[in-house]
Amino acid sequence: MPDGTTNFEDTVALRAPSAIAAPAPATGPAREASIGVRERLFPRMAGALRRAPGRLIRTHAFRLAGLYFLVFAISVIGVLFFMYWASTDFIERQTEATLDAEVTGLAEQYAQRGLSGLVQIVSARTAGDRGDGMLYLVINPDGRPLAGNINGWPESVPTQSGSLAFQIEVRVKGRDETHPARGVLFAIPDGYRLLVGRDISDAATFRNRIKTTLLWSGLLALVLGLAGGALMSRNMLRRVEQVNRTAERVVAGHLSDRVPLRGSGDEFDQLAANLNGMLDQIERLMTGMREVTDNVAHDLKTPLARLRARLELALLGPDDAKERRGAIRAAIDEADRLLATFNALLNIAEAEASTRGNVGEPLDLGEVAQAVVELYEPVAEEQGIALHLDCTSPTPIRGDRHLLSQAVANLLDNAVKYGGAGDITVSAQCVDERAMLTVADRGPGVPEADRDGIFNRFVRLERSRSTPGNGLGLSLVRAVAHRHNGSVALADNHPGLRVCLDFPVYRLAA
């Protein structure tokens, strides 16, 4: 070869193992009947198996795994090519450096000792087998060898000075072999020539071994990369399928089903946690809707029946204008109570449906409480109750003044109705960047077991239901608190009940 490189013509032949004998498949009607039985017995499984390849190819996980495998394959091929190129380049540079050093040394000897000294040195170096693969040859102008371990001038080798590549016949274990060689030609005056070369068959064998090793390593790496991509795709599909199955069950009516968590804290666990939170909220809303429907049907049935009875008595009773006006007035009062119930439900729905966050306008929670307290002072005085207001420091928040006033009014209304004859204290203050409004009474309080459910619609702890009301006051208070990113909590006042509304403090931007 002109460039002196080795041709990689030797290839490794891979023989496939002999096929293991297997029974011949059924053909004809028997095979068709067998397939028909399987299709009838397992129609869903057969359909799933037919759809699986196409479904897998269309998934984002499969495309992601394919892209991962492509990048991995290009990276592996690039790394292996670099390793092969670096190894072969190192061997060739080492060979060239060895030849240059030998030629330089022999040229110096020729300059000092002449042709006879050069022949002596070459004869000494070629005496015996040095085992380093070095080749030497000194010839006269007629081409007759004077010294060296090569029988004659190699065929098709030019006679000009410089690097060259050739082949030599070497006897190995009783048989002749052709080995590649690299050499340098040094021209001596009067037509004499010195050839210094090196047998590079070992280097060629080493390169072939590196190529084979890198090839198998690359194939193994690609197989492992393909298996890793398939495993990653399978795990992703399994997690996504869990979400899909849970969604299908929820759509089918199983609202209590949730996406399973692995506890790894990865993106899928975060997604599953968010979905489960959303499903919890949907379940609460659906449960609340059912409870509202049941409670509306239960609590409005009696007032509607009374309203109809009074109108019927007014229609069928004696023709007395005074009694008829009284019946109509009673019917109007009953209708007003029904309208109040529906208005309360609408207010709760409006508060719950509104977007949570920075709603309304900047205001002072203490001023809202003061306005409501002034409104309820006459009612409290009639029942012998003293209202106390404690709003010494500003409590700035951002909210809807009308809704907040209605929430505070509901709390005061409950305290006046059920707080007994003791005092009622209303306070507003800021604690740790939170605006706190507290309504405390000296009544019987609320048992701890009933505190969680008392905020539900139409819940009344008064079993006799003799006191006016519809059981929607605290539901509206909770809805208003949630709308303003706040909370409401019940606690003992020893004796009595203390209700605390908690809102984030609003600070003007500097």
pLDDT tens, 1-24? Answer: 334 433 333 333 333 333 333 344
| Separation in Å, CA 296 to CA 339, 411, 465, 468, 471 | 12, 22, 15, 16, 11
Domain 361-504 class? alpha beta
Give me the residues paired with residue 437 across strands: 428, 501
Taking residues 303-331, what's their average pLDDT?
79
Examine the pLDDT at 297 and tell me if it is beyond 80: no
Q: Which of 29-33, 251-255, 377-381 is least confident? A: 29-33
For 12, phi and psi rounded to 5 degrees?
-90, 120
Q: What is the pLDDT of residues 348-361, one digit of tens each?
A: 777 766 655 556 78
Per-residue pLDDT at 293: 75
Distance CA 495, CA 472 (A): 24
Q: Which amino acid is at 495?
A: P
**One-character DSSP codes across 56-114:** HHHSHHHHHHHHHHHHHHHHHHHHHHHHHHHHHHHHHHHHHHHHHHHHHHHHHHHHHHH
Of 63 and 29, which is predicted with more confidence?
A: 63
3-state helix, strand, coil in the chain (%, to 5): 55, 15, 30
Could you tell me where in the chain the CATH 3.30.565.10 domains are found? 361-504
Q: What is the mean pLDDT of the chain?
A: 78
Per-residue pLDDT at 19: 34
Per-residue pLDDT at 163: 79
Half-sphere exposure at residue 145, Cβ-oriented, CA atoms within 13 angstroms: 13
- Chain-centroid distance of CA 237 in Å reads 12
Q: Which amino acid is at 84?
A: Y
Per the listing, tokens 């030849």 go with 99
Burial 103-114 (b: 16+ CB within 10 A, else e): beebeeebeeee
Give me the residues paired with residue 169 across strands: 178
Contact (Cβ atoms closer than 8 angstroms) between residue 490 and residue 361: no
| Separation in Å, CA 170 to CA 122, 125, 146 | 19, 18, 20
Per-residue pLDDT at 370: 92
Taking residues 64-81, what's their average pLDDT?
82
Please name the residues in contact with 24: beta carbons below 8 A apart, sequence gap of 6 or more. Answer: none
Contact (Cβ atoms closer than 8 angstroms) between residue 444 and residue 418: yes
Per-residue pLDDT at 29: 46
Per-residue pLDDT at 365: 92
Q: Quick count: other Cβ atoms within 10 Å of Cβ 392?
A: 9
Q: What is the band of 396 on the pLDDT scale with cuts at 50, 70, 90?
A: very high
Per-residue pLDDT at 12: 30
Q: What is the band of 499 on the pLDDT scale with cuts at 50, 70, 90?
A: very high
Of 121 and 317, which is predicted with more confidence?
A: 121
Taking residues 171-175, what's their average pLDDT?
75
Token digits of residue 432 = 């740790």
H/E run at residue 118: helix 60-125
Token digits of residue 510 = 């500097």
Q: What is the band of 419 on the pLDDT scale with cuts at 50, 70, 90?
A: confident
| Separation in Å, CA 291 to CA 206, 420, 459, 480 | 83, 30, 10, 20
**One-character DSSP codes across 438-466:** EEE--S----GGGTTGGGSTT--S-TT--
Token digits of residue 102 = 């030998």
Q: Which CATH code, of 1.10.390, 3.30.70, 1.10.10, 1.10.287, is assigned to 267-353?
A: 1.10.287
Distance CA 460, CA 295 (A): 11
Distance CA 97, CA 306 (A): 116
Per-residue pLDDT at 509: 57
Distance CA 383, CA 416 (A): 8
| Most distant CA atoms of the chain, gap in Å | 160
Taking residues 183-210, what's their average pLDDT?
84
Q: What does the chain come to in residues?
A: 510
**One-character DSSP codes across 339-351:** HHHHHHHHHHHHH
Examine the pLDDT at 468 and tell me if it is beyond 50: yes
Per-residue pLDDT at 57: 66
Contact (Cβ atoms closer than 8 angstroms) between residue 397 and residue 484: yes
Taking residues 325-348, what's their average pLDDT?
80
Per-residue pLDDT at 501: 92
Per-residue pLDDT at 397: 92
Q: Which of 75-84, 233-242, 292-301, 344-353: highest mean pLDDT?
A: 75-84
Per-residue pLDDT at 40: 45
Classify strands 387-390 and 192-199 as parallel, antiparallel or unpaired: unpaired
- Chain-centroid distance of CA 198 in Å reads 60
Token digits of residue 286 = 């659906």
H/E run at residue 326: helix 321-353
Per the listing, tokens 């004998």 go with 21
Could you tell me where in the chain the CATH 1.10.287 domains are found? 267-353
Taking residues 60-87, what's their average pLDDT?
82
Per-residue pLDDT at 25: 45
Q: What is the pLDDT of residues 114-169, one digit of tens each?
A: 888 888 888 888 887 666 788 888 888 888 888 888 888 887 777 777 778 888 88
Taking residues 281-291, what's their average pLDDT?
80
Token digits of residue 86 = 């670096």
